[in-house]
Amino acid sequence: MQLTTNIRPLNDANRLGLDYRHEAAMLPWTSPIIDAHIHIWGLQAARDYFRIADWFGITEAWSQTPLQEVPAIKAAFGDRVHFVAVPDYSKRDDPATFTTKWFDSIEQFADLGAKMIKFWSAPRGRDIHPSMTLDSPERQHAMKIAHGAGMMFMVHIADPDTWFATHYKDSNKYGTKDSQYLALERLLDQYGDVKWLAAHMCGMPENLDRLQQMLDRHPNLYVDTSATKWMVRELSKHGDRLTDFIRHNTGRVLWGTDIVASDGHYKMAGDDQYASRFWAMRTLFETDYDGLSPIVDPDLSMIDPSLPRESVAMLKGIKLDPTTLQSLYYDTTKAVLQ
Ligand SMILES: [Zn+2]
């Protein structure tokens, strides 16, 4: 696969100087794609997201959006966007955001058609509110409400290995990476009649064998490929093992980007901010590209301070066969989430 480099200004989302609109048209896959994991924060952000999504054939998206923004985005984009219930993190200083107000908003999300609820359980959540562990009493109460409303569950569990080696070194405070999964496995069994979507390859793109064991133990568990920088860095290391994994788990892996669409994020690199994520996540699965990722990955210089701030990971495409791609890009998300 040949890229046309150095024809656009460089920024943190485009270290190769790509014309992403041109490169999008060069990608091989031409059928519709669903992005199963994004965060649209408002109407203008939705307009920017879907304008770039059109370049890449993204026809639908599952968005984690603050409740008050849902009606306007729904009115503008209709069935193109599906909503996942989340607390309003912009009001994180008000503890009720994660307790009483959150419980009320779950019903309101359901009334607006949301079929999934997200339980964000990154270890750093403990710095925001004590209820942010997956099995806190508040979370278990929210699960009961959501289960009653017929919702599926989405979960963010753990974080990159690189973070456990740095931010989360204090395991007394944050727990070890392994310990994050104890509550998840318990709750997967407790809510065995619920489909669970574990974001970011269930937080373990570094270890596909371990992830396979989780999937084998829990038939109600599904994973998405979102978090572009993390996935590009770690999944590119697996080569054929990744191909085998995706094929073996056809019907349980959903494609997603984890694009955060907000006016602030758009300002960072304009169209490149979103286009880079679509381009990298498609290039990884449908091409044989083997070279630099165009996106600055801060974890590289965090782990090795001798590296420049602008360091990028390697991106190694696995060029999946069309049947597997159709499942990953579209059919699995339709079958599991709708
Ligand atoms: Zn996300």
What structural domains does the chain harbor? 20-337 (3.20.20.140)
245 CA distance to ligand 1 middle (Å): 22
* pLDDT tens per residue across span 193-227: 999 999 999 999 999 999 999 999 999 999 999 99
Distance 188 CA to ligand 1 centre (A): 20
| Environment of ion ligand 1 (residues, CB < 5 A) | 258
Cα(250) to ligand 1 centroid in Å equals 22
52 vs 228: CA distance, rounded Å? 16
- Rounded to the nearest angstrom, the distance between the alpha carbon of 7 and the centre of ligand 1 is 31
User: Mean pLDDT by 10-residue block, N- to C-terminus, for the chain (338 residues)?
Assistant: 92 98 98 98 98 98 98 98 95 91 96 97 92 95 98 97 94 94 98 98 98 98 98 98 98 98 97 98 98 98 96 98 98 94
Task: Report residue 304 as tokens.
Answer: 């090795």
Angle between helices 43-55 and 70-77 (to 10 degrees): 40
Q: How far is the CA of 226 from the centre of ligand 1 (A)?
A: 7
Q: Looking at the chain, list the stretches that DSSP marks H as alpha helix, in order from N- to C-terminal side.
A: 20-26, 43-55, 70-77, 100-111, 137-148, 161-164, 171-174, 180-190, 199-202, 208-217, 228-235, 240-248, 263-269, 271-286, 298-303, 322-326, 332-337
Cα of 37 vs centre of ligand 1, distance in Å, is 6
Residue 36 CA to ligand 1 center (angstroms) comes to 10
Cα separation, 224 vs 143, in Å, equals 21
* CA dist., res. 18 & res. 272, Å (int): 9
Cα(260) to centroid of ligand 1, in Å?
Answer: 7
What pLDDT sits at residue 1? 82
Q: What amino acid is encoded at 302 in this protein?
A: M
The pTM of the full predicted model, rounded to 2 decimals, is 0.97
CA–centroid distance, residue 118 to ligand 1 (Å): 9
pLDDT of residue 2: 86
**Which has the closest alpha carbon to 223: 251, 248, 247, 244?**
251
One-letter amino acid at 158 equals A
Predicted local distance difference test score (pLDDT) of residue 315:
98
Q: Coil, strand or helix: which one is 131?
A: helix
CA atoms within 13 A on the CB side of 288: 2
Strand, coil or helix: what is 81? strand
Could you tell me the distance, in angstroms and rounded to a whole number, from the CA of residue 224 to the centre of ligand 1?
A: 10
Question: Distance from the CA of 155 to the center of ligand 1, in angstroms?
Answer: 10
pLDDT value for 95 = 85
Q: How far is CA 294 from CA 81, 124, 262, 313, in A?
A: 28, 28, 21, 8
Q: How far is the CA of 38 from the centre of ligand 1 (A)?
A: 6
Whole-number Å distance, alpha carbon 227 to ligand 1 midpoint, is 7
Q: Give CA–CA dist 215/335, Å, rounded.
A: 17
